[in-house]
Structure 1
Amino acid sequence: MNFLETKYSLDKDWLLTNKNFSLEDAKNLYINLKSIINFKLNVKDFGDNFIELYTFNFNNYIFKKNPNFIKILDSLSFKENEVLNQNFNGIGDLNQFKIRPVIKTDNSYIIPLPYTVSEAIYDSPFYWMIDDKKYRNKAQKNRGDIAENIVAKLLSRKIDSKFIHSEVEVKEVKATTVTDIDICVVKDNKMLIFQVKSKRLSQLSKNGDIATFEKDFKLAVRDAHEQAILPYELILSNKCYFQYKDSGKKLELPEVNEIYSACLVLDSYPAITAHTRLFFHKEKITPIAMSIFDLEIIMEYSQGFDTLFDYFKKRTQNSKYFIADSELGFFGGYLRTKLEKRPDSDIVAFDADFAQRFDLDYYKPLMEKYEIKFPETIKNIGRNDYCFCGSGIKLKKCCG
């Protein structure tokens, strides 16, 4: 939800016109649903009737106050007697429950897995837009532009914006463009390159279809890596110059002595680290590949450019020595050991226990930041209003 409004900031008008709700509405809906479920977990006793915990009756104060919530839930729901996934013939087929995770009954919505609602809110608008043939190309272009914008903003949390450059062309002296760099950060004769891909993996890839996965992985990671390393030699030998792609203005950068790079994807891709290791197992170096969610956490715990550069350097140089299931596993290992090799080992594997600290240190305060807004939503509820908890009973006979 933290990225939702940024991700679709260029598509706000389309959503209002075609779906009749705003990104702010969608974000507030999830905050309310999550807050209510947490409230019910801590306050109410459901006995054996656990389904009530995840049930929100139509007669609900927050729906009355925010009628657009109904529009959003209808867009994400299926009726309980509806045949879902009738075209689901194998493990690689699209599971409609991923984009319609809400069950709609005659009088209520049931949300068995609240987390999937946040995923659906984040992902579904793009599916809706590409179904609109007139808007499809614009939606895809917006997606690429916003991905780079998000990465630049995340980097600027700890790095001065004057060192961060977007949409840069690397040109030889003969004015031939060698490649485009999505984002580069240059400071103290050191450069970090970020190639950002908005290509989403197909459902077949996510579920293990190897042939499709190799094709999608090439578009999402391998091509980005090859694009990132292509100008290394020219840059390090000082045989090229830089200019901004849009304006054509020359970019004056100091001489660069060291370069490292990473590939970033816009969507959640939990297995990207393992898959990168799998498909680059024969190469001398396994590139760094992560999602914007990984980068967000890394920037939160970084001290600035020096920390980030040191991490990328050691992570790259020791890419065959250290193993972890996720980028946060590697970064947790870096915070503990600085990714220094041990004299008594041939290979070191990091477990995920340190990555779990991020849930407590970072996500818990983030959750609380949003949930603190919930009392404001219900402050004017009356005793005869239907309870906010979704029971379908008036407040005075329920949570009042």
Structure 2
Amino acid sequence: MKAEDMQHLFSMTRLIRTEISTLIGLLLKNDINYCVPAADVMEQYLEKTEALLEEIHQSMLGPWRAALDPKKVTDKGSKPFTNGAALREPIFYGGESAYSFQYRDLSPRKYGKDDEWLKTNKGFSIQTARDIVYSVGKLQEAKSIATLKALRKNPPEQWTVLPGFEFTVQEIAEQTNIDSAVVKKVLEAFSVPAGEKNIQFSVLHDFNIANAFPLICIREDAYILFQIYSLVESLYESPFYWVGDDKAYVSTAMRHRGLFTEEFAAERLALVFGRGNVYSNIDIFKSKSTRVGEIDVLVLFGDRAIVLQAKSKRLTLEARKGNDGQIRDDFKKSIQDSCDQGYACAKLLGDANYTLKDAHSREIAIPMALKQVYVLCAISDHYPALSFQARQFLKFDATDTTPPPVRLGLVYARRDDGDAGFTTQDA
């Protein structure tokens, strides 16, 4: 297979998830009419929508055109893509950080330690929520095919694929063998609240309720979902905000969040290098009472080592709007600080003046001189345009022993059929 064999599948006009979410968010600002428009009206809607989306894209490309002014880019020290206005475009149009099955199947791991809170306050466990979300996806796959086939029986003026996006509580309950009352609680947790008009969504990167609550209730116990990806991402992201709103529990929730990233990273590395070569929560001491460094996950393999530092920080809404200071502050807290910590610890490995100890105060010996130490910065949340921002902002003190960081934002999961899948954002 060659590139030209696939090229016909690519189109610059293909909508991406963020564009569709924007359209759904605008839809929610008004009462929704579910009647099928006349063909000429539908055509006008489509043409106007495409024109507006193109206008949005062109408006965000403006700073890029200005940045690529030949008179400016030749200036010494010119960095045209580091300002917030230029970063809005890659942040909005950049690729996703994970496949939908990863968000779905990693959610029980991410919130498993918060299950008691979820059961008490939401009425369901995270595994139950995952199973229901999975069922919604499978049901919509079957309904979409059936809906398309059914169009052949109807005249063109009655064609609509909307029924392929609809489902009921009872349908999900029957498919999952989960009590319908529990199914309803899960679906309600991810549904647009009654009367909500998304009024805060006035600028492209404002909070869009369609992302946090992707289900739309159309009648009692019946829902519409336009994007399954939005639902699985909300399953992965929203419970953090639920538990975070409980002031008495938020500190516990934050600790669980950090543990998820560290434990999952250690587990993945152990599958590659062997459990006996992977160590978690390593402290570096200069003396018995003086701790000078901390490594979240350390791999010792022959004359090589990996120093992994995990962070739980995401790109804020203010940064997505193009706020220069906020973009840099978010990057520093989520990536740069992690990288700096990794390189500082990497330089101490193998130095006889320092001692490594695990969480149980057991000393970790380095069996041989290290030829290279690789720094890996891991985050567990979607960070738009991370690779692009890393090229613009990331600073590191690379040497022959500690080369540049090779991966940022690693997410790895296993499919239901046992095949491994992963996505990375390269630094």
Q: Which moved more, 1:68-77 or 1:285-294?
A: 285-294
**Offset, 1:212:** 1.3
Question: Judging changes above 3 Å, is the alpha-carbon distance between structure 1 residues 259 and 186 closer, same or farther for their aligned structure 2 residues?
Answer: same
Residue 133 of structure 2 is aligned with which of 20, 30, 33?
Answer: 30
What is the TM-score with the length of structure 1 in the denominator?
0.69
Q: Contact 2:294 / 2:345 at 8 angstroms: preserved in 1?
A: no
**Offset, 1:182:** 0.2
Residue 272 of structure 2 is aligned with which of 158, 171, 178?
Answer: 158
Q: Contact 2:312 / 2:379 at 8 angstroms: preserved in 1?
A: yes
Q: Contact 1:221 / 1:289 at 8 angstroms: preserved in 2?
A: no
**Offset, 1:84:** 3.1
Q: Find the residue that maps to 1:72 and give its secondary structure.
A: helix
Q: Find the residue that maps to 2:295 and give its secondary structure.
A: strand
Residue 102 of structure 1 is aligned with which of 193, 215, 225?
Answer: 215
Percent identity of equivalent pairs: 24
**Are residue 287 (structure 1) and residue 400 (structure 2) matched?**
no
Report the counterpart of residue 195 of structure 2 in structure 1.
82
C-alpha separation in 2, matches of 1:109 and 1:248:
53
Residue 131 of structure 1 is aligned with which of 234, 242, 245?
Answer: 245
Mark the runs of 5 or more structure 2 residues left unpaired by the alignment: 1-103, 152-158
Q: Which moved more, 1:109-118 or 1:263-272?
A: 263-272
C-alpha separation in 2, matches of 1:296 and 1:226:
31
**Are residue 215 (structure 1) and residue 329 (structure 2) matched?**
yes
Q: Which amino acid aligns with 1:95?
A: N
**Are residue 20 (structure 1) and residue 131 (structure 2) matched?**
no
C-alpha separation in 1, matches of 2:421 and 2:165:
35
Q: Contact 1:264 / 1:291 at 8 angstroms: preserved in 2?
A: yes
**Offset, 1:294:** 5.6
Report the counterpart of residue 302 of structure 2 in structure 1.
188
C-alpha separation in 1, matches of 2:210 and 2:346:
44
Question: Judging changes above 3 Å, is the alpha-carbon distance between structure 1 residues 36 and 164 closer, same or farther for their aligned structure 2 residues?
Answer: same
C-alpha separation in 2, matches of 1:234 and 1:295:
32
C-alpha separation in 2, matches of 1:282 and 1:232:
12
Q: Find the residue that maps to 1:231 and give its secondary structure.
A: helix
Question: Judging changes above 3 Å, is the alpha-carbon distance between structure 1 residues 91 and 288 closer, same or farther for their aligned structure 2 residues?
Answer: farther
Report the counterpart of residue 360 of structure 2 in structure 1.
247
Q: Which moved more, 1:214-223 or 1:175-184?
A: 175-184
Q: Find the residue that maps to 1:293 and give its secondary structure.
A: strand
Report the counterpart of residue 100 of structure 2 in structure 1.
none
Q: Which moved more, 1:277-286 or 1:84-93?
A: 277-286
Q: Contact 1:276 / 1:287 at 8 angstroms: preserved in 2?
A: no
Q: Contact 2:336 / 2:395 at 8 angstroms: preserved in 1?
A: no
**Offset, 1:248:** 2.0
C-alpha separation in 1, matches of 2:134 and 2:421:
25
Question: Judging changes above 3 Å, is the alpha-carbon distance between structure 1 residues 327 and 5 closer, same or farther for their aligned structure 2 residues?
Answer: closer
Report the counterpart of residue 7 of structure 1 in structure 2.
110
Q: Which moved more, 1:157-166 or 1:206-215?
A: 206-215
**Offset, 1:190:** 1.1
C-alpha separation in 2, matches of 1:270 and 1:199:
12
Report the counterpart of residue 20 of structure 2 in structure 1.
none
C-alpha separation in 2, matches of 1:233 and 1:40:
57
Residue 164 of structure 2 is aligned with which of 49, 53, 65?
Answer: 53
**Offset, 1:123:** 0.6
Per-residue CA deviation, residues 1-48 of structure 1 (Å, 9 max, x unaligned), is: 221111111101000000001112111112111111111233343532
Q: Contact 2:200 / 2:208 at 8 angstroms: preserved in 1?
A: no
Q: Contact 1:16 / 1:22 at 8 angstroms: preserved in 2?
A: yes
Q: Contact 1:273 / 1:289 at 8 angstroms: preserved in 2?
A: no
Report the counterpart of residue 347 of structure 2 in structure 1.
233
C-alpha separation in 2, matches of 1:272 and 1:16:
35
Q: Contact 1:198 / 1:266 at 8 angstroms: preserved in 2?
A: yes
**Are residue 200 (structure 1) and residue 314 (structure 2) matched?**
yes
Report the counterpart of residue 39 of structure 1 in structure 2.
142
Question: Judging changes above 3 Å, is the alpha-carbon distance between structure 1 residues 85 and 203 closer, same or farther for their aligned structure 2 residues?
Answer: same
Q: Find the residue that maps to 1:105 and give its secondary structure.
A: strand
How much is the aligned-residue C-alpha RMSD, in angstroms? 2.8
Q: Find the residue that maps to 1:263 and give its secondary structure.
A: strand
Report the counterpart of residue 178 of structure 1 in structure 2.
292
**Offset, 1:251:** 1.8
Q: Find the residue that maps to 1:71 and give its secondary structure.
A: helix
Per-residue CA deviation, residues 325-377 of structure 1 (Å, 9 max, x unaligned), is: x84678xxxxxxxxxxxxxxxxxxxxxxxxxxxxxxxxxxxxxxxxxxxxxxx
**Offset, 1:157:** 2.1
Q: Which amino acid aligns with 1:201?
A: L
What is the TM-score with the length of structure 2 in the denominator?
0.65
Q: Contact 1:73 / 1:102 at 8 angstroms: preserved in 2?
A: yes
**Offset, 1:76:** 0.7
Q: Contact 1:243 / 1:249 at 8 angstroms: preserved in 2?
A: yes
Q: Which amino acid aligns with 1:84?
A: K
C-alpha separation in 2, matches of 1:181 and 1:241:
12
**Offset, 1:82:** 2.4
Q: Which amino acid aligns with 2:163?
A: E
**Are residue 119 (structure 1) and residue 119 (structure 2) matched?**
no
**Offset, 1:134:** 0.9
Q: Which amino acid aligns with 2:338?
A: A
C-alpha separation in 2, matches of 1:227 and 1:125:
29
C-alpha separation in 2, matches of 1:87 and 1:231:
44
C-alpha separation in 1, matches of 2:414 and 2:352:
32
**Offset, 1:206:** 4.1
